[in-house]
Chain A
Amino acid sequence: AQTVTQSQPEMSVQEAETVTLSCTYDTSESDYYLFWYKQPPSRQMILVIRQEAYKQQNATENRFSVNFQKAAKSFSLKISDSQLGDAAMYFCAYRSPSKIIFGKGTRLHILP
């Protein structure tokens, strides 16, 4: 069965600095999708970035980028120039054909 592990329950970063959130996963499949979702206090899960496993190039979305290491089954999220609005829970997720499997999340605090 697929699993997703986030080993950092909480992290803090100074505004305008860079922070990296870690994620590892386990799967026997060769083709899959990985995601980072953001969940602010409003509870809405917002897609931050996605990576297709067959693509070697790391995905980027403005200030958000990933470091995808397929052999190591690692999928970290880097947030550059952190902003107060980035404060939220961040979930790493793996998509099997019909469902998404989420990690337990990392709460990110932005220090002004």
Chain B
Amino acid sequence: GAGVSQTPSNKVTEKGKYVELRCDPISGHTALYWYRQSLGQGPEFLIYFQGTGAADDSGLPNDRFFAVRPEGSVSTLKIQRTERGDSAVYLCASSLNSGTQYFGPGTRLTVL
């Protein structure tokens, strides 16, 4: 596609549930990044993939958060046992190697 796409656009879930957020990067981009943006804040880094492997997952807040990129293209961010504090906009970005990052429109997650 022409840009980074993310689905769903909005996700409402209940505390304790499991959610998956999907990111489709720009075709050919080898690097993929996940960020979390809480209300009134700038995005915060979660994890970075180079190809299929997680090259840096230092931003994942705890073991409830996990991300995969099995074929080096689409990525899924998985959150187990969601908590109200997980409510935020989750942004995905991709780049060619370590070049300029292009962002998707984000998924707004609301945990009730």
Contact = CB atoms under 8 A, between A and B. Distances in A.
B98 interface: yes
B106 A43 contact: yes
Among A95, A100, A101, A102, max chain B CB count under 10 A is at: A100
Interface size class of B (residues with CB under 8 A): 20 to 34
Which secondary structure dominates where chain B touches chain A?
strand
Interface residues of A, number: 21
B14 interface: no
Contacts of A37: 103
A99 B45 contact: yes
Interface string B83-109: 000000101010000101111111010
A98 B105 contact: no
Interface of B: 33, 35, 40-45, 48, 55-56, 59, 89, 91, 93, 98, 100-106, 108
Nearest to A103: B42
B98 A45 contact: no
B100 A47 contact: yes
A3 B106 CA distance: 24
Contacts of B43: 45, 91, 100, 102
